[in-house]
Amino acid sequence: MRAIFTAQGRLKSRLIAAAFLATISGSATGQADPTKPVRVIVPFPAGGGSDFTARTVNARLSGLLGQNLIIDTRAGAGGNLGAEVAAKSPPDGYTLLMANNSLTVSASLYRKLPFDPFKDFVPITMACTSPNVVVVHPSLPARSVKELVALARMKPGEIMFASSGAGSPSHLAGELFRTRTGSNIVHVAYKGAAPAVMDQIGGHVMLSFIATIVSKPHIDSGKLRALAVTTEKRWAGLPDVPAVAEAGYPGFNAYGWWAYVAPTGTPRPVVDRLAADIGKVLAMAETKERFASQGTDAVSSTPEALAAFMKSDFELWDKIIKQQGIRLD
């Protein structure tokens, strides 16, 4: 009986894969485009890095797949709301999740999750990476990391730093900065990077460690001042901005990433087709230029490489989270 169920499961998997591959190749074979679009769940508010990445890739991916891709914004709970919806969706290739750092750190931040970040998702491909930037409101009298640290020590507990949410990459980068520099800065969590940056531009908070994908346009316009990039070396997108390491804190490395994943059980042929087509989009000159204009780098990968990266990212931040005793439940 067990053998029968196993055989049935394999047959079902092959049928799902065949149906999906048939529909996404429809435009290439001259057949009518499929009527069922691919849903890309974005677990953070519109205007942030996840939304930008999904829209940039989707605009060109739809032509390769021969079908529409729709954005389904499910913001909340630090990205976990959208991740849960994706994890519980049918593994047929028609639901994807625009994942980022929040997916891998959730296992460390929460004692109980309605999904497993690793067991419930299958990696497809990396989409882009973006260093975080130490940015301040122009009214803050600090023009370097050293001046910021000195000011924070002079006024302990008075300088607030905004993040895109508790446990988010920008929050953890701030915690790493606070630990490494001994700065007594106060965390203020927002529901996404976009509202955090808007409040900082308005002068309600003075400091943030937001990804360049969100902060660079405001740095270029002069609305925010960049003090350093949170990577070990300078970033080509902001060549005149030093790395935190240059201020005397070597090994400081915190950056954002975005990637496509799907519910576990999604047939491998579907995963491979999506990885290949998304990779083609990321290799396009116009895609690279679009990402670069917003302060990020288009980066594709194999499913295996993404899986290995996600594991290493978890291990890195799990250590920091445990050291700082950060818990969200």
Same domain assignment for residues 261 and 160: no
Whether residues 209 and 238 fall in one domain: yes
Counting every residue, how long is the chain?
329
252 in a domain, yes or no?
A: no
Q: Is there a single domain that holds both residue 320 and residue 176?
A: no
* Same domain, residue pair 198 and 235: yes
Q: Tell whether 310 and 207 lie within a shared domain.
A: no
Q: H helices of 66-144, where?
A: 80-87, 101-109
318 and 278 in a common domain: yes
Residues 6 or more apart whose Cβ sits within 8 Å of residue 273? 20, 21, 24
Q: 269 with 124, same domain?
A: yes
Whether residue 85 contacts residue 74, with contact meaning beta carbons closer than 8 Å, is answered with yes
- Any idea which residue has 């990077």 for tokens? 193
The Cα 25–Cα 283 span in angstroms is 20
Q: How far apart are CA 88 and CA 90, in angstroms?
A: 7
CATH of the domain at 188: 3.40.190.10
- Percent with pLDDT over 90 in the chain: 64
Specify the pLDDT at position 27: 38
Do 8 and 110 share a domain, yes or no? Answer: yes
- Domain final position from 183, 213, 247: 247
Report the pLDDT value the prediction gives residue 8, as an integer from 0 to 100.
47
Structural domain count of the chain: 2
**Does 329 map to a domain?**
no
Place of tokens 């943030």: 208
What is 131-161 written as a DSSP string? Answer: EBEEEE-TTSS-SSHHHHHHHHHHSTTT-EE
Q: What is the pLDDT of residue 15?
A: 52
The pLDDT, as a whole number, for residue 166 is: 79
Helices (H), 121-234: 145-154, 169-181, 193-201, 212-220
Q: Is residue 113 part of a domain?
A: yes
Domain limits for position 9 = 2-129+257-324
Q: Is 60 helix (H, G, I), strand (E, B) or coil?
A: helix
- Name the domain boundary from 212, 247, 282: 247
Residues 88 and 141 in one domain: no
- pLDDT, tens only, 253-302: 888 899 999 999 999 999 999 999 999 999 999 999 999 887 788 999 99
Q: Confidence class of residue 4 from pLDDT cuts 50, 70 and 90?
A: very low
Pull the structure tokens for residue 79. Answer: 């990205």
Instruction: Please indicate, yes or no, if residue 219 is contained in any of the structural domains.
Output: yes
Q: What is the pLDDT of residues 145-163, one digit of tens each?
A: 999 999 999 999 999 999 9
The pair of three-digit structure tokens given for residue 25, joined into one six-digit string = 């190749």
Q: Are residues 35 and 83 in the same domain?
A: yes
What burial class does residue 302 get, using C-beta atoms within 10 Å of its C-beta: 0-12 exposed, 13-18 middle, 19+ buried?
middle
CA angle 212, 213, 218 (to 5 degrees): 70
How do strand 255-263 and strand 95-100 relate by DSSP bridges? antiparallel
Q: Does the structure show a pLDDT above 50 at 25? A: no
Sequence-distant (6+) residues with CB within 8 A of 78 are 102, 106, 109, 165, 166, 167, 168, 328
- The enclosing domain of 115 has a CATH number of 3.40.190.150
- The amino acid that residue 181 corresponds to is T
Give the pTM: 0.77
Q: Rounded to whole angstroms, how far apart are CA atoms 165 and 177?
A: 16
Question: Domain check: are 121 and 138 in the same one?
Answer: no
Return the amino acid letter for 217: P
Tokens at 12, concatenated: 């079902």
Residue 308 has pLDDT above 80, yes or no: yes
pLDDT band at 20 (very low <50, low <70, confident <90, very high): low
The tokens for 21 are 């591959």
List pLDDT tens digits, range 39-64: 999 998 888 889 999 999 999 999 99
Instruction: Pick the last residue of a domain from 213, 247, 281.
Output: 247
Provide the angle, in degrees to the nearest 10, between the axes of the packed helices 80-87 and 101-109: 100
